[in-house]
Homo-oligomer: A and B are copies of this chain.
Amino acid sequence: MIRLTSTAADFAESFARLLTVKREISEDVDETVRGIIAGVVAGGDTALVDYTRRFDRVGEEFTTASLRVTPDEIQAAIAACPAEALEALRFAATRIQAFHEGQVPGDHRATDALGVSSGWRWTGLESVGLYVPGGTASYPSSVLMNAIPARVAGVPRLVMVVPMPEGAMNPLVLAAADLAGVHEVYRVGGAQAVAALAYGTDTIAPVAKIVGPGNAWVAAAKRRVFGQVGIDMIAGPSEVLILADAHANPDWVAADLLAQAEHDMAAQSILITDSADLADAVEGAVERALATLPRAEIARASWRDYGAIVVVRNFDEAVPLVDRLAPEHLEIETEDAEALAAKVRNAGAIFLGSHTPEAIGDYVGGPNHVLPTARSARFSSGLGVLDFMKRTTILRCTPESLRALGPSAIALGRSEGLEGHARSVAIRLNL
């Protein structure tokens, strides 16, 4: 963990280093992934089954018929879920749905003074594939966060792929899929699943867009199939930035820093405060909390390698630092949290006040927890309904309005050396 003070002579350099620290070891799996994709394109279901047997360590009994998870299996999984978790999932789904329903964009059409009618309409994508990781990173909450906005967007076909290594599956993931209206589920993962979603096999019809987190193979496969299908952002390790003043509770701040750090050894937790006393207290509270945290090994490594406490003179000084960090999650635990939030340009999601720990937003707040990482909040947004819709613009001229617009279009077409463009207008105006 590094501690910086804005009054230090070398602060500018130290902060710049904090900004550029590389937290991801990018595995070079691109050639392997290229081969797998080509294999699925050429071999279809047979290749998909072969790769699954190999990578997911399932035996000869895994055949084409095993690819799809049956409705009975889904119902059995739901029955196997602990009632409390299932109830919490339902509660989360309701809140996430309500929040995202407010994001459905409106269509527009108007006729201007020249008689030109123009506008746009939004349409849900025809189909979306949701990648869900297997094993420990298989989070039912992420199924809800990815699938519910797609359903709200009106996507008629939602497909989920989830690897089940050695046949093991997380019943809560299937329960979340069912809750979110995903009823077409395949037990495949890795680059082979991405390839199947992008190019299709006999069993899995291709989709228009693939979303959801995955390991290095999945990320490389998504980059490769981009263009053939749409993809969401490539997520990096998670991060939180907390702004807290002297009134903040150091144990609560420490708990939030560690909730982020426990995700991944490459996660990053940063505190910016105007109080050196709070900085000291949080540092101690983190150590105390680590002592009893089940995932302490991961959290300790993240805090040690990437954690930071920055002491500033005042929060006006903090705002440009926040914008440069462009954090995925920004918690503001200061007295004037709303006013401070209004000054921030770059953040994926903001959590206001001391009673809004980021973990609430991970599950039941309502806003999406799929958010831009690695400073990409400078130019991108969290996942939402718009990611599952597309806009078609519409233009209609009458003979009269074409006469009004035509001469300018002809002049511009000619100025660009595109006489065919000019003629397609002129021929209608006898020019």
Contact = CB atoms under 8 A, between A and B. Distances in A.
Contacts of A289: 423
Interface in A390-404: 390-399, 401-402
Interface string A354-376: 11111111111111100010101
B381 A390 contact: yes
Interface stretch (A32-40, A56-64, A67-75, A117-125): A117-125
A254 to B, nearest CB: 9
Interface in A95-152: 98-99, 102-103, 105, 108, 110, 112, 116-120, 123, 125-126, 136, 139-141
How many copies make up the complex? 2
Given A323-B126, A428-B355, A118 B378 contact: no
A305 B352 CA distance: 59
B421 A251 contact: no
Contact of A368 (B259, B384, B393, B413): B393
Given A374-B227, A394-B352, A358 B424 contact: yes
Given A356-B402, A374-B227, A390 B395 contact: no
Given A227-B376, A395-B352, A411-B88, A98 B112 contact: yes
B395 A140 contact: no
Nearest to A231: B379
B108 A102 contact: yes
Interface stretch (A7-15, A46-54, A182-190, A340-348): A340-348
Interface residues of A, number: 121
Contacts of A117: 352
Given A412-B140, A415-B82, A395 B356 contact: yes
Nearest to A299: B420
Interface in A70-92: 82, 84-85, 87-89, 91-92
A289 B419 CA distance: 12
A378 B85 contact: no
Contacts of A295: 417-420
Contact of A417 (B136, B258, B420): B136
